[in-house]
Amino acid sequence: MAELIDGKVLSAQIRSEVRTEVENRIKSGKRAPFLTVVLIGEDPASASYVKGKAAASAEVGIGSDTLTFDASISEKEVLDVISRLNADQKVDGILVQLPLPAHIDERKVINAIDPAKDVDCFHPQSVGNLVIGIDGFQPATPAGIVEMLQRSQIPTAGKHCVIIGRSNIVGKPLANLMLKKGIDSTVTVCHSRTPNLPEIARQADILVAAIGRANFVTADMVKKGAVVIDVGINRVEDATRERGYRLVGDVDFEAVSKIASFITPVPGGVGPMTIAVLLQNTLKASNKQD
Ligand code: GUN
């Protein structure tokens, strides 16, 4: 039976480390780090994520502010907001919650964020630094996964890490992090057009599922003793639940946990780690602005 990697416990460790560093900053006469979140439109999932980010910030002593705009806001107005936040010395980190309404070009908005305040690590300059291996902001979900592996003493050097999914938020940045000197994995990225995906997945020492399909990774796709990281958050109908659905990952947890050596649950796995990395990035941003 696989050992559970508990994202709630590990993210609490990171949050406690950030809290200590924030306290030390304040003791030395510096101000608390400050994060501004921009939320556009009425998407309930986005609203809930943003609430979580604000609450986690407050808990570690990071100040935060959420600017909420109607979905009808123009692209020009959003760019003006970003420009104002870039110029505001009290704002260390800027996070524009995605997705944006269809009439706003996501790329234009991300590109407008000052890279020194890009705590999401979505700006092309941040992504470029990540690819080259220059230290800077960490992409939240990929860095959260690396924290999970390292804090669980799971070796990565020379291990074959197979990532299922090639998104800009998870698959691509994770591939770059796992390749970094010091982490040193051999990396394969599979996606929806990979014909022999199960065969490749079976070669993984570390298998990361980030494809966004419930129960996509089945037991026959996992090598005995592999480490399985489940990034998926999928809603499946469940009439026994009050809200009518439950959250499941991309991995058939029940069957795969009998084969893997370590596995992350959903919820309570990768999810809580991403907010912890956002807090680390906001602290880093404030240390850079001093
Ligand atoms: N929407 C879903 N995940 C994320 C994230 O990590 N950052 C932002 N800004 N929006 C998201």
Report the pLDDT value the prediction gives residue 60, as an integer from 0 to 100: 98
Q: Over the stretch 179-225, which tens digit does the pLDDT of each residue have?
A: 999 999 999 999 999 999 999 999 999 999 999 999 999 999 999 99
**CATH topology of 30-114 equal to that of 140-271?**
yes
Cβ of 97 closer than 6 Å to ligand 1, yes or no, is: yes
CA distance 82 to 38: 9
CA of 24 to the centre of ligand 1 (A): 29
Cβ of 140 closer than 6 Å to ligand 1, yes or no, is: yes
CA of 138 to the centre of ligand 1 (A): 13
Cβ of 36 closer than 6 Å to ligand 1, yes or no, is: no
HEC profile of the chain: CCEECCHHHHHHHHHHHHHHHHHHHHHCCCCCCEEEEEEECCCHHHHHHHHHHHHHHHHCCCEEEEEEECCCCCHHHHHHHHHHHHHCCCCCEEEECCCCCCCCCHHHHHHHCCHHHCCCCCCHHHHHHHHHCCCCCCCHHHHHHHHHHHHCCCCCCCCEEEEECCCCCCHHHHHHHHHCCCCCCEEEEECCCCCCHHHHHCCCCEEEECCCCCCCECHHHCCCCCEEEECCCEEEECCCCCCCEEEECCECHHHHCCCCCEECCCCCCHHHHHHHHHHHHHHHHHHHHC
Report the pLDDT value the prediction gives residue 192, as an integer from 0 to 100: 94
Report the pLDDT value the prediction gives residue 25, as an integer from 0 to 100: 98
Work out the number of other CB atoms within 10 angstroms of the CB of residue 63: 19
Give yes or no for a contact between 74 and 52, defined as CB atoms under 8 angstroms apart: no
CA of 38 to the centre of ligand 1 (A): 11
Report the pLDDT value the prediction gives residue 172, as an integer from 0 to 100: 98
| Closest atom of ligand 1 to CA, residue 99 | 1
Residue with token string 């494809």: 211
Cβ of 119 closer than 6 Å to ligand 1, yes or no, is: no
| Residues with active-site annotation | 53, 97, 120
Question: Average pLDDT, whole number, for the chain?
Answer: 97
Residue 149: name the closest of 186, 173, 179, 178 by CA. 178
CA distance 123 to 236: 33
Cβ of 161 closer than 6 Å to ligand 1, yes or no, is: no
Q: Which listed CATH number (3.30.70.1880, 3.40.50.300, 3.40.50.970, 3.40.50.720) goes with 140-271?
A: 3.40.50.720
CA of 158 to the centre of ligand 1 (A): 31
Q: Where are the domains of the chain?
A: 30-114, 140-271
Report the pLDDT value the prediction gives residue 290, as an integer from 0 to 100: 76
Tell me the CATH number for domain 30-114. Answer: 3.40.50.10860
CA distance 104 to 162: 34
Residue 163: name the closest of 190, 198, 125, 199 by CA. 190
pLDDT of 283 higher than 90: yes
| Closest atom of ligand 1 to CA, residue 46 | 1
CA distance 7 to 14: 10
Report the pLDDT value the prediction gives residue 289, as an integer from 0 to 100: 81
Residue with token string 């065969």: 199
Counting ligand 1 atoms within 8 A of each CB, the residue from 39, 43, 49 with the most, and so the one to mutate, is 49
Work out the number of other CB atoms within 10 angstroms of the CB of residue 192: 11
CA of 96 to the centre of ligand 1 (A): 8
Give yes or no for a contact between 177 and 161, defined as CB atoms under 8 angstroms apart: no
